[in-house]
Chain A
């Protein structure tokens, strides 16, 4: 909502506060002033000029040489506008004048001809192009004939004004009108509100002698008022009206349309003007549209209607989409002689639905959607009739054609002063509360320590006691509220075990050298299931904004890999990222099964200490080591089981299992996948954290530090390449029994000295007895058992 302060002063004394200060007071009281716009900002030395003569520039087709009377002299100005003509009053920026954007006007020569100033368009005075009347949109603006030559344009045409731009929240629909803002400012400044005085002379003929009215949908349209004004002359509105509309962000058209818009801005009540003769039938019937009925609205679009749409008809065909936009077939034009002014109350839900269905928003629909003041419907019609008789030379027919089934009692709210103070934690005096309610012009009765407050119908947002609490508090001042802390029982607070484990994982991953990334949950259909361990039906948005963000992810990895590629494309060759977040799987009920996952991706060098000759590229085992460390941290036993997945290297991929359940995947990207993503060797993993966190960790009890030494024996084996070290390790462990404390691979050799298809793996076995020092014989006995078992399995001992 744009509020011209000059206009506002018609209704309320603004105490001549500087605009910024007034804006601040309004903001602090509850309606945020987003901007304070000085309409004359950067303008100076701009006067009314009379074009005495206008001739084509001999050297330039598009330029005219004008002799312009600027009051103190007649001077030559070159003008490039197509609509310049002798006999016009125009806006002249004199040499030395300033225009918005810091432009300074100087004497100049244009193609050899002297030019002493500039004839201006409204755009050049800083008015937005879309607000300039169509007739002047492509050229200069022509002032009225009676404009005083040489006078100051800025003051004479109300450009010395400041506009407050209000950022309205949906509850404050009352402030979508100048009167509504006047009530708010009146309450803040403790000033009375002055309503427009409506007087005009009526004709002897009555409106109902020319127009009949049928309301077929009283629920959606409980009040309809029509005024008939005849003998009007459709023309340009006077300057003051045009300027006020432009200040309010409305483009002037002609006096009839401008009056309806002016009253809309003034009262917040949408009006519509029909050309009476184009209605043809002398009847207005309001009903719901028939299925597939057609109407061409004022914006030139033909619209196919549905049963939900309320339409104004002439008894036969639609002439307007009720509360949203008029129809082209009854539009007011230069030839219009008689108009019907409609002021109606349409139910907000109906308008909202129609507006949404046709994706059509107008100044009218946005007000109806939020609810207009039922008590302003009739005054607004009267106000329009008055202005039309004043500005369009019209004769207002007596009375109105009216249908009125609208309830409009004031809401009464009961509230006690104690309630107000206890909710606020304050001690506001009763008299101060009454004073604030009076300023708001809420009628108040006090009875038995209880306030009975009648809320004016313009404030439909006030329904319950708490609303009154807010009204009192905002005008009393939120700065006056003290700062206290809740006096409730002290609670311990803290993270749940799940949340603690999440932080442990985060800290661990970062300690291990990975940066935490955050990617989007929405992705393309194509990548939604890539790398997903459990693929379910896709979950698509009903109305995605783009295909790239149309579907919920079932794996974190695709986006995480995009982030890796983003970095390598910017020459960060070594990247190590991890992310924790939800993946979205179809579940049993209507909500999705949201699983929290941990994903990681590493590429480039893992260790780069090149001056000491240490350089290690990422490989499968770097990331596997990180997963193993995480398992140790969380005290769970994870196993790795050879596996395959699209997009991963078939020989370098494993499922991560917990108690036999697959809860994760780890692997190297398939060369084709790497190429597609423009990546070098990249290792990825993804784990279901929720599964990981399910395991209840045991209380930590210390194990005695060994008092007896342990003994280590090594064994080197020649194995077929297909035999996995893990299998051998299991065999060793089961043969070693309880004295075997640890088994570690300490060497792997695959090379020339071995038979083809063979590899050599060396294990280091640690024996230990917590009860005593093991003797060589005891160790040998167990170790021989292990070696025996190995031999039996077909392993060849290497000496």
Chain B
């Protein structure tokens, strides 16, 4: 019986060594160690042995079984690892294939510019005010020191709907409305929005465009405050090393009035095609709120003063992104719009 046992062991170990995969090895396990396997048979047959041989034989069978089991586990570990490796091998993908696209849109470049400016002024304590695009002549002109027949009305030919109603030609009527509503209280606002003028659409003109105006009214607001505020704006918007300069100009609703230039962000002031060789780029118009405008809205112009400024997001976007034709903003070509996906932070 002992010989039989050794024979079995040899056979089993050979088969274990010969098993080339997990399945074969499991078959070996079932064949030798299973309930119907020879080792179990041997154990069952021990009843026929004399009683004194039984413990010895029992121990011997156990030794054989343990050894076979141990070798089988060893082999199993190897084969399992081999199986995993084969599986991994077969699962290799071409990682250079494109990923599943994530659908994502983005803001219009004008929104992008407007929100950037809004956020900048919000951080300086400004609120955003908006107003109607179809406006009364009174708020669009008269309340801004532009009475009927004023020569400066020619500067902005308008789309009238009736004698007294027109498409606003600037966002300044929002200032007039806000001042009227605030009834003499200090103000710190930014007013973005669409405006309309009688222009034929071409590369530099659009009958519809956007504006952002700012208005600050308070005690002792000085022209130096305007300059300082605009300087902060220019640096945040166009780069920390930007310088600004003010040039005298004229707007009926401000006195004194100025235009603001920034040092060219492309050449730094040496002169290039962006700044037309001057080193400076005109960005916005501004000034100290005209006392007539304050008085008309019920402010005591001796006690409260203010400054206002206005700029065109189209112009800023064109300068910032190098866009050559204003019509791009209103054509909505996907090949144009989708270029404003990425951040610039």
Contact = CB atoms under 8 A, between A and B. Distances in A.
A594 interface: yes
Contacts of A482: 224, 227-228
B278 to A, nearest CB: 9
A539 interface: yes
A747 B216 CA distance: 60
B133 interface: yes
Interface stretch (B56-64, B192-200, B266-274): B192-200
B256 A466 contact: yes
Contacts, number: 247
Nearest to A590: B165
Contacts of A541: 159-161, 167
Of A171, A509, A540, the most chain B CB neighbours within 10 A belong to A171
A464 interface: yes
B249 interface: yes
Given A422-B220, A493-B188, A578-B105, A466 B291 contact: yes
Of A479, A494, A578, A606, the most chain B CB neighbours within 10 A belong to A494
Of A484, A540, A544, the most chain B CB neighbours within 10 A belong to A484
Contacts of B224: 424-426, 481-484
A506 interface: yes
B108 A517 contact: yes
A548 B113 CA distance: 29
Interface stretch (B4-12, B27-35, B37-45, B95-103): B95-103
Interface in A157-176: 169-173
Interface in B246-268: 246-250, 255-258
B331 interface: yes
Given A486-B218, A518-B329, A423 B134 contact: no
Contact of A28 (B124, B130, B247): B247
B19 interface: no
Contact of A591 (B149, B165, B246, B329): B165
User: Chain A contact residues (Cβ within 8 angstroms of B): what range?
Assistant: 35 or more
Interface stretch (A205-213, A277-285, A566-574): A566-574
Interface stretch (B47-55, B69-77, B82-90, B334-342): B334-342
A563 B335 contact: no
A690 to B, nearest CB: 12
B128 A484 contact: no
Contact of A515 (B105, B188, B232): B105
Of B164, B258, B334, the most chain A CB neighbours within 10 A belong to B334
Nearest to B337: A515
A379 to B, nearest CB: 24
A27 B333 CA distance: 40
A215 B48 CA distance: 155
A543 interface: yes
A566 B218 CA distance: 49
B271 to A, nearest CB: 12
Nearest to A503: B115
A481 B231 CA distance: 12
Nearest to A173: B151
Contacts of A576: 103, 105
A680 interface: no
Contacts of A27: 247
B122 A590 contact: no
A262 B220 CA distance: 48
A362 B192 CA distance: 38
Contacts of B127: 491, 493-494, 496
Contact of B221 (A488, A506, A549): A488
A493 B125 contact: yes
Nearest to A567: B334
A483 B227 contact: yes
A513 B219 contact: no
Nearest to B210: A518
A276 interface: no
B212 to A, nearest CB: 14
Nearest to B164: A590
Interface stretch (A387-395, A607-615, A634-642, A760-768): A607-615
A572 B334 contact: yes
A753 B288 CA distance: 80
Contact of B196 (A28, A169, A511, A521): A521
Contacts of B227: 478, 481-484
Interface in B262-295: 288, 290-291
B198 A594 contact: no
Given A479-B245, A488-B218, A516-B107, A424 B332 contact: no
B250 A169 contact: yes
Interface in B102-148: 103-108, 110-111, 115, 118, 121-128, 130, 132-136
A509 to B, nearest CB: 7
A590 B164 CA distance: 9
Interface in A568-590: 570, 572, 575-578, 581-582, 584, 590
Contact of A466 (B255, B332, B338): B255
Of B101, B108, B128, B152, the most chain A CB neighbours within 10 A belong to B108
A65 to B, nearest CB: 46
Contacts of B162: 542, 590
Contacts of B245: 478-479
Given A483-B231, A493-B123, A591-B165, A515 B220 contact: no
A516 B110 CA distance: 10
B236 interface: no
A272 interface: no
Contact of B216 (A171, A352, A486, A492): A486
A482 B222 CA distance: 10
Contacts of B152: 169-171
Contacts of B232: 485
Interface stretch (A45-53, A468-476, A714-722): A468-476
Of B98, B255, B329, B337, the most chain A CB neighbours within 10 A belong to B255
Contact of A594 (B132, B221, B228): B132
A621 interface: no
A513 B160 contact: no
Contacts of A499: 128, 130
A540 B165 CA distance: 11
A395 B297 CA distance: 59
A514 interface: yes
Contacts of A486: 188, 216, 218, 221, 225, 229
Of A170, A552, A577, A607, the most chain B CB neighbours within 10 A belong to A170
B332 A29 contact: no
A545 B136 contact: no
A522 B222 contact: no
Nearest to A543: B160
Given A32-B247, A423-B222, A591 B255 contact: no
Contacts of B1: none
B344 interface: no
Of B248, B329, B335, the most chain A CB neighbours within 10 A belong to B248
Given A172-B250, A566-B331, A473 B223 contact: yes
B196 A515 contact: no
26 contacts: A170-B154, A170-B155, A423-B222, A423-B305, A466-B288, A466-B291, A470-B255, A478-B227, A478-B258, A486-B188, A486-B216, A499-B128, A512-B103, A515-B334, A515-B338, A516-B105, A517-B108, A519-B332, A521-B133, A522-B207, A544-B159, A590-B136, A590-B164, A606-B103, A611-B97, A611-B98
Interface of A: 27-30, 32, 169-173, 348-349, 352, 369-370, 422-426, 464, 466-467, 469-470, 473-474, 478-479, 481-496, 499, 503, 506, 509-522, 539-545, 549, 552, 563, 566-567, 570, 572, 575-578, 581-582, 584, 590-592, 594, 606-609, 611-612, 614
Sort A-B residue pairs by CB-CB distance and give the 10 closest, nearest first.
Answer: A425-B224, A513-B103, A425-B222, A30-B248, A470-B256, A169-B250, A563-B332, A483-B228, A478-B246, A474-B248
Given A423-B305, A464-B291, A592-B132, 13 more contacts: A469-B256, A484-B222, A488-B188, A494-B127, A495-B128, A515-B338, A542-B159, A545-B200, A545-B207, A576-B105, A582-B194, A594-B133, A614-B100
